[in-house]
Amino acid sequence: MMNLADLPLRRIFTIVAAMNFVVGFGSMLLPRLHLQMFYNIAPETVDNTLLLYHQMFWAVVVTLGIAYLIMAQNPRGHQGILFIGAVGKLIAAIVWIYALARGFANPIVLGGIAWDGSWGIFFAVLLWQYYREGSSTLVFLAKK
């Protein structure tokens, strides 16, 4: 298997951070449009509570973008961020798969499923490789 640590991780995590900023801020600034496009919700049916929760979710996505910029400086030294990123991206992909299967989401979420699912797997494999080479800094992964 290819050693992912040999890739230009700084550049890769900077790109992931930038995408988090673009989609996060876009979804926060145009929440009614985003809800209509992704979830087929008519703009006039969106209440303030749904808007608030939608914007809070995307604020977390932007915050994770900041974390990915930090991780880009030293991925091996920020494995906690890598772990949270792997879990978060895989959960997002699973929730979008569920929403699509139940008819809650439009096919446009396939892009999010592919993006977040791919990065979630990439992050998890990179963490596994750090563990296998003995450089895991996560307490529950580190060799005792």
Q: Give the tens place of pLDDT for each residue, 19-33.
A: 999 999 999 999 988
CB atoms within 10 A of CB 11: 10
Decide: residue 141, CB within 10 A, 0-12 exposed, 13-18 middle, 19+ buried: middle
Contact 13, 68 (CB under 8 A): yes
User: What's the predicted TM-score (pTM) here?
Assistant: 0.87
Least confident of 21-25, 45-49, 83-87, 119-123: 45-49
CA 45 to chain CA centroid, nearest Å: 28
42-64 tens-digit pLDDT = 778 889 999 999 999 999 999 99
More confident residue, 41 or 108: 108
